[in-house]
Amino acid sequence: MPRSIKDLDLKGKRAFIRVDFNVPIKDGAIGDDTRIRASLPSIHYALEQGATVVLASHLGRPKGKRNPEYSLKPVAARLAELLGRPVDFAEDCIREQAVRAVEQAAKGSRIVLLENLRFHPEEEANDSAFAKQLAGLADVYVNDAFGSAHRAHASTEGIVHHVKEAAAGLLMAAELEHLGRVLENPERPFVAILGGAKVSDKLEVIENLIPRVDALLIGGAMSYTFFKARGLPVGKSLVEEDLIGAARDIEQRAKERNLRLELPVDHVVAPKIDAGAAFETLPVADAAIGDRMGLDIGPGTVALYKSIIGSAKTITWNGPMGVFEIEPFSHGTIDIAKAVAGVKGTTIIGGGDSIAAVAKAGVTDRITHISTGGGASLEFLGGRKLPGVVALG
């Protein structure tokens, strides 16, 4: 475990806190402020200890260019509301504007949010000179952005080499504690549930999970690459052609390890992703799928997965079982959310869609830990060292 913000002397210091304020913003309005709320404990703590808080985050993918659509300015306003005190905003995260804003904040509000780090290509490139400039705004560095810890960027990795003291924020520490327990000593049976659209995103994770889990349940569009590998009819379902070989290898390795790797046995098929489309449930081997798409797991799969989930003592879940945003194809995901909530053991959910699904099913408060980092939590549970965590020492 890295040092915690609680181990630092913050009085009169500039505490540079890397947060994950990558919230959905449309036309200047914030959709869901969960990520802002998640770092409030660290921010409150630093303010109480007498620090000047310098907050930095990325927002979306502006690809290294200044773009008002991705400005963090609305986030500063929301943060001020949540804290009940003014929050300064710096129009840039480096140079004059940043330096001046931090100086001002130190004399006044004691809290400033810097503009989107990704307006500079050097952030994602982990450019050392850029990291040094960020470090120039800090007496101490705190990383509370667990959701970004799997990326070695200037604000998550490079900066640490230029500051005297670095530590994990309270959110980061809580994530590492919950996930670390599951990684090191999971109560068994340990079941991982993976869904969503892209196998490519999750391939390395699946490979890493194989030696750790007792069962791996696969759902969502990801299943179709495995079906194609098995020679089953997939119609127009999403398949990642170049990963068919990899899917075959995964099945082979699971077999060698005696791991239970389950794929859907039935699915809901429709001609297109549309709430009004006619749909029906078919066994996955049924050629009647024709040129339709598989868009949700069927009731047979739900029953099978529920029986495995029901006997688990540790569950991790990331990725929906179908196109859960559209009612006719949401049932599989909602049923799995309810089953996971019923587990008597440790349940960990990561990834925006799975979190939205448990919220939709009304069972959020029955989940042990909702991870703020989808990709980061998956990589961590897959045993990968996260650069943003390694850097903290």
**Which residues contact ligand AMP (rule: CB under 6 A)?**
196-198, 201, 220-221, 238, 294-295, 319-320, 322-323, 325, 351, 353
Least separation, in Å, of the C-beta of 273 and ligand AMP?
Answer: 6
Is 375 considered catalytic here?
yes
What number of other Cβ atoms are within 10 A of residue 65's Cβ? 10
119 or 317, CB closer to ligand AMP?
317
Query: Phi first, then psi: what are they for 263, rounded to 5°?
Result: -115, 160
Which strand ranges, in their side-by-side order, compose the sheet holding 266-270? Answer: 280-283, 266-270, 293-297
Least separation, in Å, of the C-beta of 351 and ligand AMP?
Answer: 6
Q: Which of 6, 37, 73, 198 is catalytic?
A: 198
Least separation, in Å, of the C-beta of 319 and ligand AMP?
Answer: 4
Burial of 68 (0-12, 13-18, 19+ CB in 10 A): exposed
Q: Which of 13, 14, 18, 35 is catalytic?
A: 35
When CB distances to ligand AMP are compared, the closest residue is 196
**R_g over Cα of the chain:** 22
N-term to C-term CA, the chain: 8
Least separation, in Å, of the C-beta of 300 and ligand AMP?
Answer: 16
Q: Which of 169, 350, 374, 375 is catalytic?
A: 375
The angle at the Cα of 169, spanning 166 to 175, to the nearest 5 degrees, equals 120
The rounded distance, in Å, linking the Cα atoms of 125 and 57 is 15
- For residue 195, the one-letter residue type is G
Is 198 considered catalytic here?
yes
Least separation, in Å, of the C-beta of 72 and ligand AMP?
Answer: 23
**Helical pair 73-83 and 40-48, crossing angle rounded to 10 deg:** 70
- For residue 84, the one-letter residue type is G
160 or 221, CB closer to ligand AMP?
221
249 or 325, CB closer to ligand AMP?
325
1 or 285, CB closer to ligand AMP?
285
132 or 236, CB closer to ligand AMP?
236
Which strand ranges, in their side-by-side order, compose the sheet holding 165-168? Answer: 88-90, 111-114, 52-56, 14-18, 140-143, 165-168
Q: Which of 352, 360, 366, 384 is catalytic?
A: 352
Is 235 considered catalytic here?
no
Q: Which residues are catalytic?
A: 35, 198, 352, 375
